[in-house]
Chains A and B, each alone.
Chain A
């Protein structure tokens, strides 16, 4: 083990280089930022509890999609007992009016590429485009 110094030194250098972005940001004082989606202002409730929606909204939307298109089942009774239309454009975007500030913030942050909007229409950006 005559080259122990070389090995340990090399490893230390490797770790230093790999973690450089972290140290750099700590030194520069860059604040850590989450995606910060803008939630609707009113006191209205979502179709499900916040924790569930945060974790599983995609599963809910996929189930809605299959229910409406393949099962002709268009109404959703939420845990609060209220009935909602299973509609991305009407129900979801009805409260979360800004797709750019709600959906896109998190999906851009997490680099999640969606295909929803290739067909479905965001009424807000449509209005903006028409203006």
Chain B
């Protein structure tokens, strides 16, 4: 078969386009992300619903924070420059930063709300990590491998929720009560909420959810229409933090 220069260039261009085309399509479709568990069951999509009416934070309750710190050896550092946060309190205005609601959110203004890693569907922290020390699991948990973290803090710059903390100081001596079942971290790594994946593996719920005496926090499978979280979301209007950024958080707030 003979081919002139023009036909050859045309065919080469089309093949290159076809190749890159399928690759970008696969990337867009999120290929390689398992939607099922190794046992073949449909993977859950973990999420949390926080009922701000039930939360007693305004009465000084910090049970969820204390439970998390106990479970994960989170150091208590008062200095803002060094603090390490997994779940913490944030003024409503800073957590939601919603403008244009007029007097619509007056009931919530001045209130402090519990905030944590949103375990986004589209996590910016995962995209920027140069060593894959943080990644998104099939069940939606944005997981961290502290063995692999090099402490570059790109993920902290990328996270729009400030959900990641850097260990500037050795955390071990600053942990109040060390839980031997969970590692502490070392100086120079980033850490954040892991949705209690180590407890989920044992079939238990997250520590913060278990600790809340008002049951203001609810944890469950967002993909299952019959789950408790989906039931709550059907019953009341819910908000997510900074929805305009397209990160698709999996933590919902019932106003």
Interface residues of A (CB under 8 A from B): 65, 69-70, 72-74, 89-90, 115, 118-123, 126
Contact of A121 among B137, B143, B184, B197 (CB under 8 A): B184
A-B contact count (CB 8 A): 31
A33 CB to closest chain B CB (Å) equals: 32
Find chain A residues with CB under 8 A from B137 CB. Answer: 72
A72 cross-chain contacts in B, Cβ below 8 A: 137, 197, 201
Inter-chain contacts of A120 with B (CB < 8 A) = 183
A52 to B161, CA, bound (A): 47
Query: Within 8 Å of chain A (Cβ to Cβ): is B178?
Result: yes
Interface pair A70/B180, CB less than 8 Å apart: no
| Contact residues in B for A90 (Cβ distance below 8 Å) | 181
Bound complex: CA of A70 vs CA of B144, how far in Å? 9
A72 to B135, CA, bound (A): 13
Residue of B nearest to A119 (CB): B183
Q: Is the CB of A119 within 8 A of B184?
A: yes
Q: CA separation between A90 and B84, bound complex, in Å?
A: 26
Known contacts A65-B147, A70-B145: does B186 contact A118 (CB below 8 Å)?
yes
Do the beta carbons of A74 and B178 come within 8 Å of each other?
Answer: no
1/0 per residue, CB under 8 A from A, across B136-172: the answer is 0100000101110000000000000000000000000
Roughly how many angstroms separate A72 CA and B44 CA in the complex, as a whole number? 14
28 contacts between A and B (CB under 8 A): A65-B147, A69-B143, A69-B145, A69-B147, A70-B135, A70-B143, A70-B145, A72-B137, A72-B201, A73-B38, A89-B180, A89-B181, A90-B181, A115-B186, A118-B186, A119-B146, A119-B183, A119-B184, A119-B185, A120-B183, A121-B178, A121-B180, A121-B183, A121-B184, A122-B180, A123-B180, A126-B178, A126-B180
- Check A119–B186 contact: CB distance below 8 A: yes
Give the docked Cα–Cα distance between A122 and B143 (Å).
Answer: 24
A73 to B197, CA, bound (A): 12
The docked-state distance in angstroms from the alpha carbon of A126 to that of B175 is 12
CB of B53 to closest CB in A, whole Å: 35
CB of A94, distance to nearest CB on chain B (Å)? 11
Tell me which residues across on chain B come within 8 A of A119, comparing CB atoms.
146, 183-186
How far, in whole Å, are A119 and B38 apart by their CA atoms in the complex?
29
Instruction: Please give, as numbers and ranges, the residues of chain B lying within 8 Å of A118 by CB-CB distance.
Output: 186
Query: CB-CB < 8 A to B181: which residues of A?
Result: 89-90
Q: A118-B186, A119-B146 are in contact. List 17 more A-B contacts (CB 8 A).
A: A65-B147, A69-B143, A69-B145, A69-B147, A70-B143, A72-B197, A72-B201, A73-B38, A74-B201, A89-B181, A90-B181, A119-B184, A119-B186, A120-B183, A121-B180, A121-B184, A126-B178
CB distance from B186 to the nearest CB of A (A): 4
The smallest C-beta distance from B59 to any residue of chain A, in angstroms, reads 33
Chain A residues in 8 Å Cβ range of B135:
70
Residues on A with beta carbons closer than 8 Å to the beta carbon of B145: 69-70
Cα–Cα, bound, A121→B137 (Å)? 26
